Amino acid sequence: MYDAIILAGGENNEPLTRYTSQPYEAMIDIAGKPMVEFVAWALAASPHVSRIFVAGPAEELAKCSFPVKTIILTGGRTIMETISIGMEALGHENLALVVTADIPLLTPAAINDFLDQCASVSADLYYPIVTKADNERRFPGNKRTYVRLQEGTFTGGNIFLVNPRIVPQCMQVAERIIANRKNPFKLCCQLGWTFVVQFIFGLLKLDQVEKRVSDILGIKGAVIRSQYAELGIDVDKPSDLELVRNCFTQGC
């Protein structure tokens, strides 16, 4: 089994403040509940998950209704700092799940599929991707950030399986990668100009990206192809919020 860390410290961005007064994304109301609760309960429903740590604004999170095994932590100033706090709280160096608080459509089935696939590969960092076709089949018209590779067009997920021992050495590089996660071109620039040219012409292969990122971070990374579009539906713009609220209203 795996312990899980939910990153719940992200502040509400400007586009969303017009639709909700909540200062933290994790606390935005979805069907009468803060959306972080949906993430926590999805994790608790997976037989693969043991303890759940929620890192963010502790006073606000204390008002939430979490599963019994949930531990609330005060988050850091950045995503990587919050991850470090969560990893330290684990008290061990076994692989741990890291999940963002803004994916309320997350399901136990999506979690189980991701972890089952991870179990067949030996790595320090596991990252899911979903094809554009799978995303549009599940959520027609939903706008996501896509990357075109030789094998197809993909969007990234928001759940990771991480070896806690790699976090200290990856802090600075990971911060830059996270900062550019919504800009495929800038992200590609971090991999080198050869990759930029290949990216522009759609010539990059998944295993090339996987190996290059592994080399930059000094770790072994593994890309996991998932059919569950729910992994990538993060609420960071008004259209995402509308989609998610409609899904809960319509039972999709």
* pLDDT (tens digit per residue) in 22-42: 888 999 999 999 999 999 999
Q: What confidence score (pLDDT) does residue 197 get?
A: 61
Q: Is the pTM of this model over 0.85?
A: yes
Amino acid at 142: N
For residue 60, give both structure tokens.
């606000």
Amino acid at 131: T
* pLDDT (tens digit per residue) in 171-205: 666 666 666 556 666 666 666 666 666 666 667 78
φ, ψ dihedrals at 106, nearest 5°: -55, 140
Kind of pairing, strands 96-100 and 2-7?
parallel
Q: What confidence score (pLDDT) does residue 196 get?
A: 65
CATH number of 2-235: 3.90.550.10
Tokens 């061990």, located at residue? 92
Q: What confidence score (pLDDT) does residue 58 get?
A: 95
Q: What confidence score (pLDDT) does residue 122 get?
A: 94
Q: Where are the alpha helices (DSSP H) in the chain?
A: 14-17, 35-44, 58-61, 79-90, 108-118, 132-138, 167-179, 184-189, 193-200, 206-217, 238-250
Q: At what angle do helices 35-44 and 108-118 cross, to 10 degrees?
A: 50
For residue 103, give both structure tokens.
């994916």
Q: What confidence score (pLDDT) does residue 210 get?
A: 84
Amino acid at 159: I
For residue 230, give both structure tokens.
């729910």
Domain residue limits, the chain: 2-235
Q: Which residues of the chain, if any, have pLDDT below 50?
A: none
Q: What confidence score (pLDDT) does residue 148 get?
A: 87
Rounded to whole angstroms, the Cα distance separating 227 from 238 reads 25
Amino acid at 124: D
Q: What confidence score (pLDDT) does residue 41 get?
A: 98
Q: What confidence score (pLDDT) does residue 176 get?
A: 62
Rounded mean pLDDT of the chain? 87
Q: What confidence score (pLDDT) does residue 166 get?
A: 86
